[in-house]
Amino acid sequence: MQQPAVPELAHTHTRPIHWVATATAVAGVVALSSILQPGPATAAQASPPHADTTPATAPATTGVDFPLDCGPTVKPVVMKKASGDLDGDGRPETVAVVHCDAPMGTPPDGVYVLTQGAGGGHARVVATLVDPKDRTNVATLSVTEGAVLATLLGYSSADVPSCCPDLKDSVKWRWKGDTFIRSTPAGAHSV
């Protein structure tokens, strides 16, 4: 008869004392874990660089007091608007093309930059890009990459009738320092 290669080990045979020792050890671990519980989780939340309560929506044009003299019976009307962050503060501004809602003729446009009012109130005008006194109309308006782009229609002299502008100019405004700087975009042509 062959002898087993490994002699019989005492711990390979279970006895009741083994089960009692295992049960006691498990009960001790459970009891100890109920006493030594970790505190509540306190994961650190990353806070934004500055707490900002200003809404991230562009200012509305309703209720704005535009610096436009339309007389006692005619009201200003917003013809075009575009929005975007013009000064790099993370909050959008609105650019509005406004003229007097005259029953006939072609009233000149004003182009105004609006920012949100304090405490979320009505927007307010912070800059005039085109003054209606310049006798200009705005054909196109957009805000792209922090710049205001527009196509302006104007007149070469006071003799040109207001129905038929004879000048066309593409312009661009960009915020620099504390003012809007007007330039002509590359590739723009005047008529």
Question: For residue range 118-139, what is the model confidence (pLDDT) as tens digits?
Answer: 777 789 999 999 999 999 999 9
Residue with tokens 């339309």: 70
Res. 5: pLDDT tops 50: no
User: Could you tell me the pLDDT band of residue 163, with boundaries at 50, 70 and 90?
Assistant: confident
**What are the domain boundaries of the chain?**
76-183
What pLDDT does 6 receive? 42
The listed CATH number (2.60.40, 2.40.128, 1.10.3470, 3.40.1710) that belongs to domain 76-183:
2.40.128
The residue that leads in pLDDT, 14 or 147, is 147
What per-residue confidence (pLDDT) applies to 30? 66
**Residue, of 61 and 191, whose pLDDT is higher:** 61
Which is more confidently placed, 96 or 39?
A: 96
Give yes or no for a contact between 91 and 56, defined as CB atoms under 8 angstroms apart. Answer: yes
Q: What is the spatial distance between Cα 128 and Cα 98, in angstroms, rounded to a whole number?
A: 11
- What pLDDT shows up at residue 117? 76
Predicted confidence at residue 121, as pLDDT, reads 76
What mean pLDDT is reported for the chain?
A: 80
Q: What are the backbone angles phi and psi of residue 98, rounded to the nearest 5°? A: -130, 140
Q: Closest by alpha carbon to 61, among 91, 81, 86?
A: 81
Whole-angstrom Cα distance, residue 55 to residue 146? 18
Over range 8-21, report the average pLDDT. Answer: 59
Instruction: Please report the sign of the dihedral spanned by the C-alpha atoms of residue 51, residue 57, residue 62, residue 67.
Output: positive
> CA 117, CA 34: separation in Å to the nearest integer?
56
At 124 the three-state DSSP class reads strand
The residue count of the chain comes to: 191
Cα separation, 101 vs 107, in Å, equals 8
Supply the pLDDT for residue 83: 96
